[in-house]
């Protein structure tokens, strides 16, 4: 591991919460695609599969920021454990419903309950921010966490799809629930690195979404999430049409691998310019990378195209975290980070649903038009909101870039 990454773990407790966050985030890449695989295995209905995946994402979008707001108010341990128990109970209900052939409405009710799963990525990033706020190490920490996210997306779909196709249909979501329980209870057992709650700062305060800069980020990431949701569903269907459904996990893993490679390299770099400009370039690169998917005719070409497309994901996400530091008050940082996940979740819901309908109506290859259109929407929103992002909120500016510039002026 390069020395900047090794230096992150000099602080006591960092290895423990990073490992727990990795385990607890595996369901992020396993549950949605696991449900799609499970339902398509049992019923062959991609519309239903996409609808359930969308319901989980929408429920998480609605519930997640409220959970994170409570975390900022009361602390991680007091909030995450009961929320996780609700999500696990709902996941168990979903698996039982598919096993015993219960009505579709039961599946959707359980899918809503799964939405109470907490955003472990935001919780771990909040711990890094508490340790390294205002230092260059925070940029490296956010880069490391983006790499962890992508590692989850490399192995999660492989495990989830592989188990559900080779063992029994419910195996992937079942293991995802086990990872969630282990990760959350391991993370919340580590009290020394838990960020302090901010009850006084929250008294009478509005939502973090009141930040105009955060509004732009969340809106853009709705379109970005639509890309992710559509790519997942369409890739499974594309591989299924060609008689190699299990290969979808490998193809999606390469999509994540591209992001992982780019994120690791990005964390070793230092930037002096405004993060808003890099963020907009990243959004544009993500949109352009969707165009080749419209031309795919076989799985090897698709794998290469998705690997290249993945190269722009992690750098854009890392820069987004820096922008949140600029535009969201410290007392609502966890909530602000979760709103980004919410935007992605809403987009995933839209993407998986629309892609499922397009696949049922016109086939898998036509489904890649959904992420292409979504990328164009993301670029349009990004350009329209760029001016808001280029002006940090009053009283903010504790980002890596600002700190680095202050250091350079001081040395000079």
What's the pLDDT score for residue 410? 35
Report the domain count for the chain: 1
In a domain, 76, yes or no: yes
What is the C-alpha separation between 238 and 231, in angstroms, rounded?
10
What's the pLDDT score for residue 205? 54
DSSP annotation string for 346-408: HHHHHHHHHHHHHHHHH-HHHHTHHHHHHHHHHHHHHHHTHHHHTSPPTT---SHHHHHHHHH
In a domain, 124, yes or no: yes
In a domain, 201, yes or no: no
Helices in 44-103 by DSSP H: which ranges? 46-74, 76-100
Across the chain, what does the average pLDDT equal?
Answer: 83
Instruction: Please answer whether residues 49 and 152 qualify as being in contact, where contact means their C-beta atoms are separated by less than 8 angstroms.
Output: no
Instruction: Please answer whether residues 290 and 375 qualify as being in contact, where contact means their C-beta atoms are separated by less than 8 angstroms.
Output: yes
> Does 31 have pLDDT greater than 80?
yes
> Does 230 have pLDDT greater than 60?
yes
Instruction: Please answer whether residues 237 and 37 qualify as being in contact, where contact means their C-beta atoms are separated by less than 8 angstroms.
Output: no
What is the C-alpha separation between 379 and 373, in angstroms, rounded?
10
Encode pLDDT of 303-340 as tens digits: 999 999 999 998 898 888 878 877 877 777 777 888 88
Backbone angles phi, psi at 45, to 5 degrees: -100, 100
Enter the pTM of the model.
0.75
In a domain, 214, yes or no: yes
Residue span of the structural domain in which 157 resides = 16-195+208-411
In a domain, 163, yes or no: yes
Report the largest interatomic distance among the alpha carbons of the chain, rounded to a whole angstrom. 71
CATH number of the domain at 286, please.
Answer: 1.20.1250.20
In a domain, 7, yes or no: no
Please tell me what DSSP assigns to residue 328: S
Instruction: Please answer whether residues 248 and 238 qualify as being in contact, where contact means their C-beta atoms are separated by less than 8 angstroms.
Output: yes
273-311 burial, b at 16+ Cβ within 10 Å, e below that, comes to ebbbebbbebbbbbbebbebbeebeebeebbebbbebbb
In a domain, 286, yes or no: yes
Rg of the chain's alpha carbons, rounded to an integer? 20
In a domain, 3, yes or no: no
């Amino acid at each position: 591991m390069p020395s900047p990454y090794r230096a992150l773990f000099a602080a006591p407790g960092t290895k423990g919460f990073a490992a727990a966050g990795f385990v607890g985030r595996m369901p992020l890449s396993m549950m949605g695609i696991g449900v799609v695989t499970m339902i398509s295995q049992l019923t062959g209905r991609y519309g239903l599969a996409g609808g359930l995946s969308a319901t989980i994402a929408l429920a998480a979008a609605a519930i997640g920021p409220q959970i994170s707001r409570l975390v900022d108010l009361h602390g991680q341990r007091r909030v995450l454990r009961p929320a996780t128990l609700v999500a696990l109970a709902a996941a168990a209900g979903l698996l039982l419903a598919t096993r015993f052939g219960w009505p579709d409405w039961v599946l959707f009710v359980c899918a809503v309950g799964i939405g109470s799963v907490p955003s472990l990525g935001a919780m771990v990033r909040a711990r890094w921010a508490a340790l390294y706020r205002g230092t260059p190490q925070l940029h490296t920490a956010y880069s490391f966490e983006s790499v962890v996210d992508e590692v989850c997306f490399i192995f999660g779909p492989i495990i989830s799809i592989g188990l559900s196709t080779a063992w029994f249909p419910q195996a992937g979501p079942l293991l995802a629930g086990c990872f969630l329980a282990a990760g959350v209870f391991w993370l919340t057992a580590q009290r020394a690195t838990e960020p302090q709650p901010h009850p006084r700062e929250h008294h009478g305060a509005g939502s973090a979404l009141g930040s105009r800069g955060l509004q732009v980020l969340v809106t853009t990431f709705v379109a970005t999430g639509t890309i992710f949701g559509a790519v997942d569903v369409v890739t499974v269907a594309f591989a299924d049409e060609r008689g190699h459904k299990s290969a979808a996990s490998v193809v999606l893993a390469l999509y994540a691998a591209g992001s992982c490679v780019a994120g690791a390299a990005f964390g070793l770099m230092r930037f002096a310019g405004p993060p808003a400009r890099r963020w907009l370039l990243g959004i544009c690169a993500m949109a352009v990378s969707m165009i080749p998917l419209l031309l795919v005719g076989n799985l090897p070409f698709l794998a290469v195209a998705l690997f290249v497309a993945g190269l722009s994901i992690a750098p854009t996400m890392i820069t987004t975290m820096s922008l949140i530091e600029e535009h969201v008050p410290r007392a609502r940082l966890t909530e602000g980070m979760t709103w980004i996940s919410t935007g992605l979740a809403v987009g995933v819901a839209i993407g998986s649903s629309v892609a499922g309908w397009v696949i049922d109506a016109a086939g898998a290859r036509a489904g890649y038009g959904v992420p292409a259109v979504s990328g164009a929407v993301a670029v349009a929103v990004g350009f329209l909101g760029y001016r808001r992002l280029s002006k940090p909120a009053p009283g903010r500016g504790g980002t890596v870039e600002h700190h680095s510039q202050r250091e350079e002026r001081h040395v000079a």
